[in-house]
Amino acid sequence: LLGRYGKLVFDSWTRPKYLKVSGKRRAADKTIERRFKRYGRFAGLAFWLLLTKDWLD
């Protein structure tokens, strides 16, 4: 994430974590990308903040 926030990173941690925080059973990568498209060049950062929100709660 060092200075580049536009790309969403999908891996063995982010996919299941997204499903958990979104309450969904399944979500294709394209579906997730569409959800975060509105954040433009900060889409990856918005995705990361959603996934790590519970780290601060």
Q: Per-residue confidence of the chain (57 residues) as pLDDT tens digits?
A: 567 898 999 999 999 999 999 999 999 999 999 999 999 999 999 999 999 999 998
* pLDDT computed for residue 4 by the predictor: 81
pTM: 0.88
What is residue 11's three-state secondary structure? coil
Which whole-number Å values give the CA distances from 5 to 8, 20, 38, 49, in the listed order?
Answer: 8, 22, 13, 11
Structure tokens at 56: 């601060």
Helix (H), strand (E) at residue 47: helix 43-51
* pLDDT computed for residue 40 by the predictor: 96
CB count in 10 Å sphere of residue 18: 19
* pLDDT computed for residue 2 by the predictor: 66
